[in-house]
Amino acid sequence: MKFKKYDETLKALKNSIDSTFGKEKVFLTSALGRILAQDIVATENNPEFETASMDGYALRAEDQELGELEIIDYLPAGSYKGNLVTKGLCVKTFTGSLMSEGSDTLLPIENVEVTGNKIKVITPVAKGFSSRPVGENYKKGEVLIKKGTKIGYAQIGVLAELAFVQISVFVKPRISILATGSEILDFGEEKQNISQIRSSNHVTIEALLKEAGADTIRLGIAKDDKEKIKKEMSDALRNSDILVTTGGVSVGDFDFVKEVLGDMKPQYIVDGAFIKPGRHIKIVKIGYKYIFALPGFPYSSAVGTFLYVLPLLRAMSARDFKIPFVRAYMDEDYKKRSKYKEFTACNLVLKDGRVTVNLEGKKTGSSAILNNMLDNAALLCVNEETKELKKGDLVDVVPLC
């Protein structure tokens, strides 16, 4: 079987996307963590009028040379009196108050001495001091938040400032997760013999997908029985937008997932990739729904989720499909372990003012070592043709958090 290069498989996946997730309206207070489905455009200037940014006296800057000015009124925040400031006059003004017509500067209270209804200028300030200009925050027509943005605290605050009560967001994708294999046990199952292992694949992937904003359905474990696996996969596909399976895609006698996929007569997007781990990955499409058939080893299935499933989720909610590579310097020599494009667990560290990579504490061995992803790990990307890396080499790294 000839595997396609990683970049080719990514391109094929991207080209297969012909829709986005649906949209729904949610109340602003429930929008945290959701993905915005519309551009947010300012409908007015903010501030709409010149505004004081501290307590002081609104006046004309040139009048500071007079040395003494008359206080004609005071203006608490939230009030409006229509005062007109002319030569020799000022208005006591508070933080957040509108600057009175005719004024162009706010002289702080600590810069004056007050006697009766007059102020004496002790320390003058530059023209425009502490007077917030119209549109300082944003101007009418400005795109403040782009479609596809994950809504966080800052977005919530700006949306509230713009008087949004409800906001359009992408519907959370519904993703089913099915682990396969007679040797693996689900939560609460006791070992019947020493060959059995506890599954971590389905819960690891579920956690990754929940962090990415998906609604998940964890289906549990399907034993190595073709008809049972076929029923589980068919049912899952009816009830979800995406199905992610682990195990059963290699070349063994009991690798039934690949056989079931063939029986479904899907559109094959990826049928193996020239990567390690995960070269037996399969990605298919049935109608508008996707199936990601990932390998059974825990590290492999987690890496496959990062490299393929998450880019699809981003693209289908108007975000950047691309893998978020960063450039970093090797902090040690590294000898490549295979002929494939490798994604190796590593540590991404800021050292001496630059981003570096080391493999301290990362174990070598099979693709089952999920604990290599602990401690804020990243993925060191090593191309097919590379044999070894030297300390100081510039490399591509995929951050995992």
pLDDT in tens, 186-235: 777 777 777 767 778 888 999 999 999 999 999 978 888 889 889 999 99
Mean pLDDT of 163-189: 88
Q: What is the pLDDT of residues 313-366, one digit of tens each?
A: 999 999 999 999 999 999 999 999 899 999 999 999 998 899 999 999 998 877
> In sequence order, which ranges of 267-363 are alpha helices (DSSP H)?
298-304, 310-315
Beta strands in 12-159, from DSSP E residues, in sequence order: 23-27, 40-41, 51-52, 56-59, 68-75, 89-93, 105-108, 112-115, 118-121, 131-132, 143-145
Evaluate if residue 254 carries a pLDDT over 70: no
Q: Outline which parts of the chain fall under CATH 2.170.190.11.
A: 51-132
Position with higher pLDDT, 221 vs 7: 7
The pLDDT score that the predictor gives to residue 12 is: 97
CATH, range 23-45+137-170:
3.90.105.10
The pLDDT score that the predictor gives to residue 250 is: 66
Cβ neighbours of residue 252 closer than 8 Å, sequence gap 6 or more: none
CA–CA gap between residue 269 and residue 11 (Å, rounded):
10
Cα-to-chain-centroid distance, residue 109: 45
Supply angle C-alpha 82, 85, 89, rounded to 5. 130
Looking at domain 6-21+171-315, its CATH class is alpha beta
Q: What is the pLDDT of residues 90-145, one digit of tens each?
A: 999 999 999 999 999 999 999 999 999 999 999 999 999 999 999 999 999 999 99
Evaluate if residue 253 carries a pLDDT over 70: no
The pLDDT score that the predictor gives to residue 292 is: 97
Check: CB of residue 401 under 8 Å from CB of residue 333. Answer: no
Q: What is the pLDDT of residues 39-94, one digit of tens each?
A: 999 999 999 999 999 999 999 999 999 999 999 999 999 999 999 999 999 999 99
CATH, range 326-399:
2.40.340.10
Mean pLDDT of 155-167: 96
Architecture of domain 51-132: Beta Complex (2.170)
Mean pLDDT of 279-308: 93
3: phi > 0 → left, psi -120 to 50 → alpha, else beta; which? beta
The whole-chain average pLDDT of the chain stands at 92
Q: Outline which parts of the chain fall under CATH 3.90.105.10.
A: 23-45+137-170
Q: What is the pLDDT of residues 260-288, one digit of tens each?
A: 898 999 999 999 999 999 999 999 999 99
Query: Facing residues of 70 across strands?
Result: 89, 118
Pick the range with the lowest mean pLDDT from 66-75, 158-167, 195-204, 247-256. Answer: 247-256
pTM for this structure? 0.86
